[in-house]
Every structure is written in C-alpha cells, then in structure tokens.
C-alpha cells in the first residue's frame, strides 16, 4: 500500500511538472508568434546612379533607396543594442566595377514599449550611399551591378524575421570624351558620402 501511495504522488508530481512545462512552452510559442507573424513586411529598395553613364578610371556615386512602410522601423546599420539585427547594403563587385566604400546615414533615436532606452532606427525613406571604382581598362558597354538590402522590420510591439531585397542597376560605361548627365539628383543631394 505504501508503495502505491508513493507511485500516485510521483505521478501527480510528474503531471504538475508536465503542465508547468506545457505552460512555459505555450508562453514561448506565443512570444515567438508575436515576433514572426507571417512573413516580414516588404520594404522596397532600388539602386540608383548619380549620372546617366560612367567613364573608365572614375569614381561613381550610387545609392540604395529603401522605403519603409508607415508604422514600421528597421535598425540602424550600427544598432543601439548588440542583439539587434543591423541594416546592411551589400553591392557585389564585378569587373570593371568595384565597391570602395558604403556610407550609412545615422538613425533616429526612438523610444519603444519593449525597450527601456531609445533605439537608433530608420523610418520612412532611408538612403545608403556607396562609392564605386570603374576600372581604367573598362570597355565601353553596359554592365549590371547587383546588390542586396538586408533588414529586420519591427513595429512598436514585435519584430519580424530578417529579410532582404535584391537591387540591380545598369551601369553604362562610355568613352572619356562623352559628357555625363546628372540623374536622380533629388536623392544624391540628401546622401552623405563622408
């Protein structure tokens, strides 16, 4: 009889522990669901040049322009907290075009309910500049420049899974005597290359 009572107590303890684990798993699943409700919202991004063509042996300014939907933000390239996922622009170097440097704008400090201190984020339109080198041996012709805008979108309550948007631009190399026309100046006037 004593053995049976001991087994019943053990069984009750096991049920209670299982219920506690079940509750903990439910809380974790709810938290993860809040973080990853569906796919990440799509942020549009495009790659632009500052001139209609480029010369061999020149440095060229390009910009990635991303549009962040209202009610969302993405972390700055150098996030406030170590665990936050940074925004990154990667442009693939391919002859005759090589990436010299990428220039990220500073974020804006915003306070959110899920964090005690303000976080540096991007909202609305964000423009990331890059400086390319065109090889002096570049032949006249069209070249495709490929890149990627990577981010993690969040709202005031939760963050979505990290995502990325591919960006491309056609770069036309022309002879050194061909005049270049400025284009997309509204974007390049507000882009820092320092």
Token pair for 12: 């009750």
DSSP letter (8 states) at residue 58: -
What mean pLDDT is reported for the chain? Answer: 84
pLDDT tens-place string over residues 158-187: 889 999 999 999 999 999 999 999 999 999
N-terminal to C-terminal alpha carbon distance within the chain: 83
pLDDT tens-place string over residues 138-157: 999 999 999 999 999 999 88
pLDDT tens-place string over residues 51-95: 999 999 999 999 999 999 999 999 999 999 999 999 999 999 899
Cα 2 from Cα 10, distance rounded (Å): 12
Rounded CA Rg of the chain: 26
Backbone φ, ψ for residue 130 (5° rounding): -145, 150
Cα 90 from Cα 99, distance rounded (Å): 9
Cα 95 from Cα 19, distance rounded (Å): 61
Question: Selecting from 1.10.260.40, 2.60.40.1250, 3.50.50.60, 3.20.20.70, what CATH number does the domain 44-188 have?
Answer: 2.60.40.1250
Kind of pairing between the strands at 125-134 and 44-49: unpaired
pTM: 0.78
Spell out the domain ranges in the chain: 1-35, 44-188
Q: What is the dihedral of CA 78, 82, 83, 89, to 10 degrees?
A: 20
DSSP letter (8 states) at residue 51: B
Residue 4 has pLDDT above 80, yes or no: no
DSSP letter (8 states) at residue 25: H
> How does residue 38 score in pLDDT terms, banded at 50, 70 and 90?
low
Q: Among 17-26, 33-42, 78-87, which range has the highest average pLDDT? A: 78-87
């Amino acid at each position: 009889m004593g053995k049976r009572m001991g087994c019943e107590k053990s069984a009750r303890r096991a049920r209670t522990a299982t219920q506690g684990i079940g509750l903990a798993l439910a809380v974790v699943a709810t938290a993860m669901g809040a973080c990853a409700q569906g796919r990440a919202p799509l942020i549009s991004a495009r790659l632009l040049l500052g001139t209609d063509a480029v010369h061999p042996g020149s440095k060229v300014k390009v910009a990635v322009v991303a549009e962040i939907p209202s009610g969302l933000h993405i972390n700055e390239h150098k996030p406030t907290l170590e665990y936050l996922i940074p925004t990154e622009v990667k442009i693939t170097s391919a002859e005759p075009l090589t990436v010299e440097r990428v220039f990220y704008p500073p974020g804006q400090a915003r306070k959110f309910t899920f964090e005690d201190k303000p976080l540096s984020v991007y909202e609305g339109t964000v423009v990331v500049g890059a400086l390319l080198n065109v090889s002096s041996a570049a032949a006249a012709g069209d070249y495709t420049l490929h890149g990627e805008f990577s981010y993690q979108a969040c709202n005031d309550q939760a963050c979505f899974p990290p995502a990325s948007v591919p960006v491309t631009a056609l770069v036309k190399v022309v002879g050194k005597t061909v005049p270049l026309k400025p284009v997309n100046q509204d974007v390049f006037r507000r882009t820092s290359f320092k």
